[in-house]
Structure 1
Amino acid sequence: MQRVTNCIVIDQDHILLLKKPSRGWYAIPGGKMEQGETIKESAIREYWEETALTPNNPTLAGVFTFSIYHQEELENEWMMFTFITDSYQGQLTEHCDEGELEWVPIKQLHQLPMAEGDHKIFEHILTSKATVFGAFSYTNEFQLIDYRIN
């Protein structure tokens, strides 16, 4: 099972998102954990690699499992650890190899193209102080089949 981390950085009611070129969907900056890293170290490193910003003291906001199915057969599975902070240091990079970086008003998140489950993750993380746990099932074309959040 692949492990990935990401971090939601909030600044003046905006969140820095990455618009991926493959689908034009927005995503939280992050990526794969490296051997021996803690999930927090991974989230900070991945965020810095994509944005040149270093999140300050991010806290764990959500833990999610994702299962990808092709004709009812499990094709891929990964865990995602999502952190959140409203403090960072550094200057935003002008170029990101992963896509376009954009500060998006929180009020507009629901209008952006992204994986359907990501909308649900934002909805819960941004309205709860407790750590959110969830499981999402998708087709290999990234159509949401089912989800649970608690």
Structure 2
Amino acid sequence: MQRVTNCILLNDDKVLLLKKPRRGWYAIPGGKMEQGETVKESVVREYREETELNLKNPSLAGAFTFSIYQDDVLVHEWMMFTFFCTDFAGELTEECNEGELEWVPTADIKNLPMAEGDRKIFEHVLSSEEVLYGSFFYTDDYQLIRSRLDPSRS
């Protein structure tokens, strides 16, 4: 099972997001863990590789499984560890191989094109300090089928 890490970096009521070119969806910067890394080491390294920013003391905000189905058959599954951080050092790169980096006001996040699971993650992480656990089930074209979250959101 593939493992990925990412981090919601909040600064001056804005979050740094990555606009992916393939779908035009916004995502949380991060990437694949390397063998032997801790999740915290991975998020710091991945974030620096994509943004040139060094996260300071990121904290785990959520752990999730993602299952992708094609015609009711599981075709891909991965785990994602999402961190939250408000402190960083460095200057944001002007070029990112993964897409366009953009500081987005937190109030605007709910209106951006993104995976529906990410929307649920943002809603929780930006309003609670409690760690969120969840499972997301998608079609192979990334339409959310269902999700389970703990703690659940009303």
CA distance in 1: counterparts of 2:3 and 2:54, whole angstroms: 20
Structure 1 runs of 4+ off > 6 angstroms?
none
In the alignment, which residue of structure 1 is the partner of 2:8? 8
Q: Does 1:128 align with 2:128?
A: yes
Alignment partner, residue 139 of structure 1: 139
Secondary structure of 1:44's counterpart equals helix
Structure 1 segment 27-106 matched on structure 2, within 5 A = 27-106=27-106
Root-mean-square deviation over aligned CA pairs: 0.4
Unaligned runs of 5+ in 2: none
Letter in 2 for 1:64: F
Separation in 2, partners of 1:24, 1:145: 21
Give the deviation of 1:128 after TM superposition.
1.1
Residue identity (%): 63
Aligned residues: 150
In structure 1, stretches of 5+ residues that fail to align are none
Letter in 2 for 1:130: E
Distance in 2 (alpha carbons) for counterparts of 1:144 and 1:67? 10
Partner SS state of residue 48, structure 2:
helix
Give a deviation string over 1:59-110, Cα, whole Å, max 9, x none: 0000000000000000000000000110000000010000000000000000
Q: Which amino acid aligns with 1:30?
A: G
TM-score for the superposition, normalised by structure 1: 0.99
User: What does the per-residue CA deviation read over 1:97-148, in whole Å, with 9 as the maximum and x for residues that have no partner?
Assistant: 0000000000000000000111011001111111100100000000000001
What's 2:24 paired with? 24
Q: Distance in 1 between matches of 2:134 and 2:69?
A: 17
Equivalent AA in structure 2 for residue 112 of structure 1: L
SS of corresponding position for 2:9: strand
Q: Distance in 2 between matches of 1:82 and 1:34?
A: 16
